[in-house]
Amino acid sequence: MTGTMQAAVFKGDGVLKVETVSIPRIQREGQVLLEVLAASICGSDIHALHVPPGQVITPGVIMGHEFYGKIVEKAEDVQHFQIGDCVAVNPCLPCGECWECRHNMRNLCVHPRHYGQTCDGGFARYALVETSQLYPIDPQIDPDIAAQTEPLACVMYSMDMVKPSLADHVLVYGAGPIGLTYIKVLLAFGIEDFIMAAKGEERVKQAKACGARYVIDTEKESVPERVSQIWGGLADVVIDAVGRGPVLTEAVHLLNSRGRILLFGLDHNALSQVPPAVYTQKELTMTGSLGKDFPAAIRLMEDKGIDLKQFVTHRIKLDEINRGIELLRKKEACRVIVYP
Ligand SMILES: [Zn+2]
Ligand SMILES: [Zn+2]
């Protein structure tokens, strides 16, 4: 395919500009050209547009790492994918050479290439991707949902890190798009008596609409007080989908002995002060989570009908992307889907 297309290019210093660029050409084996069907704006895109950026981002790249599309062209050697296939994209390309890659931790690669951050991503009409990063998905899945395969894959991977069971009390901090995804996933796992800690009326309303039975408004209520009222006890699993230091300080005191805490939200500027003795005395386990489980996410979408559409608040065209980012920055939007 030749010609030009619209793409949202990171220009440095917090500037994202929709420009006309050439449609990328297949350069080597194992590549396909995708027509991007939909993309989702991630919290880390907002961090990347801070000055200085709170996320690795290379000036000149087309942003967007949460996207899916249809294969419209392929390199000659590509056999397992066909023109017309609908695929979700894992944006993180491990280097294959670092210590992590050689020890079976490719998701923790220290020198990855990353679509939408260090090389061109999906805020464009077309995207050039490697087949190693692709997962076929049913073209019948609602585009609002298919565009969120990547964040759902991150959440599914994290579930495996703490393995919440029906017998566990689960407390989730944060009711942004990730926190709301946790609601849907916990419900799909049959866990219904979890508690959400959400900030402000709007988030509380959304969490309830997504099916959360117990939602604490952190602006008005004390989390420890409400937790003990609701459960008459403490949490076995705390999921931090906020990534701020104070959450951790509070969370460790809300855990039962042998409790597990999952750090999902990532903010490089966050600091916390937790006395190490707390961990020892209660034998707490703390774990981070950075991987993505695409097969599990796709199974939830295809077979279990997980509804991530419910918290999509805005659908925009590519040339409105800066408006979408502004809405997210001001927390006036929850999930914004871009239709290039
Ligand atoms: Zn993301
Ligand atoms: Zn590596």
Measure 64 CA to ligand 1 centroid, in angstroms.
8
Measure 93 CA to ligand 2 centroid, in angstroms.
8
CA of 99, nearest ligand number:
2
Same domain, 54 and 166: no
Measure 133 CA to ligand 1 centroid, in angstroms.
15
CB 314 within 8 A of CB 330: no
Q: In DSSP terms, which residues pair with 255 in a beta bridge?
A: 235
Position 334 in a domain: yes
Measure 239 CA to ligand 1 centroid, in angstroms.
17
- Per residue of the chain (340 residues), what is the pLDDT tens digit? 889 999 999 999 999 999 999 999 999 999 999 999 999 999 989 989 998 888 889 999 999 999 999 999 999 999 999 999 999 999 999 999 999 999 999 999 999 999 999 999 999 999 999 999 999 999 999 999 999 999 999 999 999 999 999 999 999 999 999 999 999 999 999 999 999 999 999 999 999 999 999 999 999 999 999 999 999 999 999 999 987 778 888 999 999 999 999 999 777 777 888 889 999 999 999 999 999 999 999 999 999 999 999 999 999 999 999 999 999 999 999 999 999 9
Same domain, 133 and 16: yes
Count: domains in the chain = 2
Range of the domain at 63: 4-148+308-339
Residue 38 is predicted with a pLDDT of: 98
Position 266 in a domain: yes
Residue 271 is predicted with a pLDDT of: 81
CA of 109, nearest ligand number:
2
Measure 117 CA to ligand 1 centroid, in angstroms.
10
Measure 317 CA to ligand 2 centroid, in angstroms.
35
Same domain, 13 and 132: yes
User: CA-CA distance, 35 to 339, in Å (whole number)?
Assistant: 11
Residues with Cβ within 5 Å of ion ligand 2?
A: 94-95, 98, 101, 109
Measure 215 CA to ligand 1 centroid, in angstroms.
25
| Whether the model pTM is above 0.85 | yes
Same domain, 167 and 256: yes
Residue 294 is predicted with a pLDDT of: 98
Residue 244 is predicted with a pLDDT of: 78
Q: Where residue 255 sits, what CATH number does that domain have? A: 3.40.50.720
Residue 246 is predicted with a pLDDT of: 82
DSSP letters, 285-299, are EEEE-----HHHHHH
Position 192 in a domain: yes
Same domain, 88 and 137: yes
Measure 132 CA to ligand 2 centroid, in angstroms.
15
Q: State the DSSP H helix or E strand holding residue 280, giving kind and residue range, or none if neither.
A: helix 276-282
Measure 185 CA to ligand 2 centroid, in angstroms.
30
Same domain, 139 and 23: yes
Position 294 in a domain: no
Measure 104 CA to ligand 2 centroid, in angstroms.
10
CA of 64, nearest ligand number:
1
CA distances from 28 to 55, 75, 114, 131 (A): 29, 7, 18, 11
Same domain, 14 and 143: yes
Same domain, 270 and 179: yes
User: CA-CA distance, 323 to 318, in Å (whole number)?
Assistant: 10
Q: Please name the residues in contact with 135: beta carbons below 8 A apart, sequence gap of 6 or more.
A: 87, 88, 89, 90, 149, 294, 295, 298
Position 300 in a domain: no
Same domain, 59 and 156: no
Position 235 in a domain: yes
Measure 113 CA to ligand 2 centroid, in angstroms.
9
Same domain, 19 and 52: yes
Same domain, 74 and 190: no
Same domain, 265 and 331: no
